[in-house]
Amino acid sequence: MAVAAVEGVRFAYGDGVRALDGVSLSIRDGEHLALLGPSGSGKSTLLRALAGLVPHFHGGTFAGRVVVGGRDTREARPADLAGVVATVFQDPEDQAVLNRVTNEVAFGLENLATPPGEIWPRVEEALAAVGAEHLADRAVAELSGGELQRVALASALALRPRLLLLDEPTSQLDPDAADAFFDLVESLPCAVVVSEQRPARPLAHADRVVFVERGRVVLDAPREDALSWLAANRPAYVELPPELLCDVRGVAFSYGDRGVLAGAALQVRRGEIVALTGPNGAGKTTLAKIAAGLLRPDEGSVRHGRAALLVQDPGRHLVTERVLDEVALGADERRALRALRDVGLEWALERHPRDLSAGERERLALAAVLATEPELLVLDEPTRGVDPERKAELAALLRAHAPRRGTLVVTHDLVWARSLADRIVELSGIVAHA
Amino acid sequence: MPAAVLLAAAVVAALLATHTLSVAVICVVLLAAAWRAPARRRWPYLVGTLVSALFLFCVTPFVEQVGSHPLWTGPTVPVLGTLDVTTEELHGALFQALRLAAVGLAFAVYALRLDHDRLLAGAGWARRSALAVALATRLVPLLERDVRDLRVALRGRNVDLPAVRLLSPLLAGSLERGLNVAEAMEARGYGRAARTRAPRPGWGMLDRVALAAAAALVGAGALWL
């Protein structure tokens, strides 16, 4: 029995950009779908259409029909569909409403008028299901990205939905946590649609694969058939993608009383690409900032050339009104134009940075860093939210630039790291060894 | 909820009080309460309050025309008249600045020390407004974090911009975050007509004492302070 049906849906946002162009799809109860495609292909929009948020929340021009749990989304508001469908959005920080974890998980249950006596048991059950019982009494603001992602999933599972929509759910998880997450999702009895830029895990767990490109479904097939099609037509999605690097030596660092690094050592040489990996909270970003000269260690020595750091989520930190101006902030216009060409954004010179898609913004931020032509380039999680084809392009770009500088890449994406880096440095506990 | 009422009562008492010393005492008590929050969280609130109060203290003597004990007489400015500073104006400025500080410090205590989830749970019919206030309150630490992140991002690019250039991206980022939260809330059923509440502990003796103290504080502010 179909829990959701999408029939000939066309959708354009208010600015006229067409996001979906004749999408049809049917999702059966309990079926697990991997939704793949490049950045800006319409994956997130399709998930929002299934949740009723498109068009109700986003406006725009909508044609066709989406039926979820027997209700036409043109008539049912997203709030009315909640419970039948539940969504975990890309950025868990932007979906937390309340301050305590238990209250956050209970929020949706209260909205759905769940009998009061059932609310706390269901909260406990949902937290246990995602292995987050120990977080129950914590403040949401104190959680790491990975912990927050689990709480967001618990908040969705507490509603016991028939259809669970996951938009890049493991973008902030380390590889072990991401594996555990997908193992957990695989065991869920409800239908699941997972949109992911790192396709290996969803491809391993999905019953069916849907590939979207320019708002159209170009592949809708069972997993085995889909793997053959991807290997022939979109090899970046099934081949090992490339990437990662970083640089430092023998340092200790604490945030107040909390020790983050002790005796950490790391070296990056010119022409070398080093990947820095490790679990959430191991101090990778701290080490990257020390390597870039942005943090001074409590102990140890750091030497580095002229460094530049591309921070996590750099698309949020754009400050001008024009793409070219953004990149030219730290360099002259000639270098800015070259950097924009390198990242494939030469067409967007006059656009407002915030009119770009999330993936394009990240590339813009990368261009802004590349334009400064640093001797040491430090990138903190540069593949978060980047599709496999763009990841391959990024790896090629870093490789092409590698001889000119040392490159240090902090990442959870081990597959990409192995394919890109000359060396991988594992940061475990509070000590890293080069 | 009683703690929020007590804070509101402190503000009302500070606004009703007629003696500078009384308002100063209320400020000290509120400052002591805010000071117990972690240093890295409390500074934006305390600095904001201090700057606002100092600004008011500095400006007030020049826009008031009271008192007969001039300490300084300056030029005559159209609309404002003769600029001067009198002992009475200084006293008035201090009084107004302390009142503003009391409001700012009460907000700091509210933002830093209160459990907003419990406040929301106790809000009853005003839940929608209480939720809006709770989300807006969370904006302050998020903005502080955004400023920090933005500065690190720019330093990482070897770019140094004046603080005023950060206002526009900060505003845009806040609006974007607001939209994301609103979307997530709607997807989780917020806005449905019928809803329930998870059972939470009722009020204890301390809560009742806080309510009584709040009533007493307002009364004292109106009659004696």
A341 in Cβ contact with A323 (< 8 Å): no
CA atoms within 13 A on the CB side of A243: 29
Q: Which two tokens stand for residue B77?
A: 């400015």
Contact A374 B158 (CB under 8 A): yes
β-partners of residue A34 are A194, A209
Contact B185 A308 (CB under 8 A): no
End-to-end CA distance of chain A: 54
* Mean of pLDDT over chain A: 84
A24: pLDDT confidence band, cut at 50, 70 and 90? very high
Quickly list H helices, A14-171.
Answer: 43-51, 53-56, 78-81, 101-111, 116-129, 145-157
Q: Which two tokens stand for residue B168?
A: 């526009």
Q: Mind listing the pLDDT tens digit of every residue in chain B (225 residues)?
A: 788 888 989 999 888 888 899 999 999 999 999 999 888 788 888 999 999 999 999 988 888 777 777 777 777 877 777 778 888 888 999 999 999 999 999 999 998 888 888 888 777 777 888 888 888 887 777 888 888 888 888 887 777 778 788 888 888 888 888 888 999 999 999 988 888 888 887 778 888 888 888 888 888 877 776
Task: Please check whether residue A159 touches B, CB under 8 A.
Answer: yes
Least Cα separation, residue B18 to chain A (angstroms): 38
Q: CA B64 → CA A306, B59, B82, B92, distances in Å?
A: 55, 9, 10, 9
Q: A161: cis peptide before it, omega within 30°? A: no
Nearest Cα to Cα of residue A339 among A308, A307, A378, A365? A365
Percent of chain A residues past pLDDT 70, beyond the cut: 94
Task: Please check whether residue A154 touches B, CB under 8 A.
Answer: no
CA torsion through residues A95, A101, A102, A103, sign: negative
Task: Please check whether residue A139 touches B, CB under 8 A.
Answer: no
Contact A317 B165 (CB under 8 A): no
* Closest Cβ opposite residue B196 in set A103, A114, A365: A114
Least Cα separation, residue A373 to chain B (angstroms): 10
ipTM score assigned to the predicted complex:
0.72
> What is the tens place of the pLDDT at every residue in A303-359?
776 788 888 877 778 888 889 888 888 777 778 888 888 888 888 888 888 888 877
Length of chain B equals 225
Q: Is A90 exposed, middle or buried, given 0-12, 13-18 or 19+ CB atoms closer than 10 A?
A: buried
Whole-model pTM? 0.66
Least Cα separation, residue A79 to chain B (angstroms): 4
B134 CB neighbours in chain A (<8 A) are 98-99
A103 CB neighbours in chain B (<8 A) are 117, 121, 198
